[in-house]
Amino acid sequence: MNTNWIIFFAAFVLSLGLTPVFRKIALRSQFLDTPSGQLKKHTAPIPYLGGLAIYFSFFFIILGTLILTPPPDSGQVLALLVGGTVMVIMGLVDDLFSLTPAVKFLFEIIAAVLLIIFGVKLEFLPSHPILTYLLTVFWVLAVTNAVNIIDIMDGLSGGVAVVACLGFVFVPFLDAHSYVPLTAAVLGGSVLGFLPYNYQPARIYMGDSGALFLGFMLSAIAMGHGYTQNNIVGLIAPLFILGVPLYDTALVMMLRFIRKRSMFRGSNDHLALRLRKIGFTVKQTVHLLWFVSALLVLAAGFLVRLSEKRALVFIVLSSFAAMMVTLFVALIPMDEGTVKIKESPFQIFLKEPRGVPQKRRKK
């Protein structure tokens, strides 16, 4: 049996057992997401801490693997583990107290710098190290927050993450670092064990501690593959692999910019909510976006194996398809319900503690 399958299954089993434990802890401590307003429409309080079940499943399986059969690039695995721990702690504090965007960006930058120190970075500009570092930090911030942003529907963010992880493990991308299949397999299994409890109707949410951890890990894993051995266009393969969260973030940012609305407000303008508006159920929406994620992972594997000219044609056709989808979903009329952030996004202090956490489910 392939080692990747073994650790994937081990992480799945551990997460499947840990998730109800953390659910009970959340219920006893009243760590709940309470419905309120237009953007929190679940019918009853839902416990958080699912992110901790994912994290500890990942942590213990990775730690055991490093002890029993350490990979050649153990330092990079540790960098992912340390950076992921920073994300979990910061996300948990955000779930409790609601951090300002500036504070979250600061800790995300710190975690990205940790990756760079241990050699986990974008590698297509070796002669321009400063630009490489800046692009690496930007990539980590973009993916981390994109995965967090799509955590607006039961099972959506977790399912998309599992698909991406399976792609990183089993789609034969070229010249991958050894830490990639290891961390992707463990992460995928950890999230898959959480999904039965998060699938509609959700019995637990992952919270920012889970969503930010997933986004950070996926951003780091994506940088561990080689995509350009056959064509330079393969550089954008990670944009396909993580296409659903990145597209949703780009769509939301574009529409808010056009409508002169704040980038720091939660609102009803996400892709998943637009699909709900035209008649899809929650399960149909989630299944559709899981399927689209799987297609995009396969497209990425196809792209990196094409010749230069065929890859360019493939990108042109894909871009045209994305434009058509954007024109369609942008015309779907949506309610204007928002959650306003009163503090300046550059304020670097905690908001007042809220007692029982009441986070915005719509990012």
- Per-residue pLDDT tens over the stretch 127-148: 788 999 999 999 999 999 999 9
Q: What is the pLDDT of residue 336?
A: 54
User: Which residues are registered as beta bridge partners of 266?
Assistant: 339
Q: How far apart are CA 2 and CA 213, in angstroms?
A: 26
Residues lower than pLDDT 50 in the chain? 1, 338-362
Q: Which amino acid is at 77?
A: V
Helix 179-198 with 74-97: angle, nearest 10 deg:
30
pLDDT of residue 4: 87
In the chain, domain spans: 3-339
pLDDT tens per residue across span 23-54: 999 999 888 877 655 555 555 789 989 999 99
| Total residue length of the chain | 363
| Distance separating alpha carbons of residues 129 and 302, to the nearest angstrom | 29
pLDDT of residue 36: 58
pLDDT value of position 359: 46
Helix ranges, the chain (H): 3-28, 50-68, 74-97, 101-117, 129-149, 156-170, 179-198, 207-222, 237-241, 243-258, 271-277, 282-303, 308-330
Chain position carrying tokens 């994305």: 322
Average pLDDT taken over every residue of the chain: 87
Question: Which residue in 81, 109, 291 sits closest to 186, CA to CA?
Answer: 81
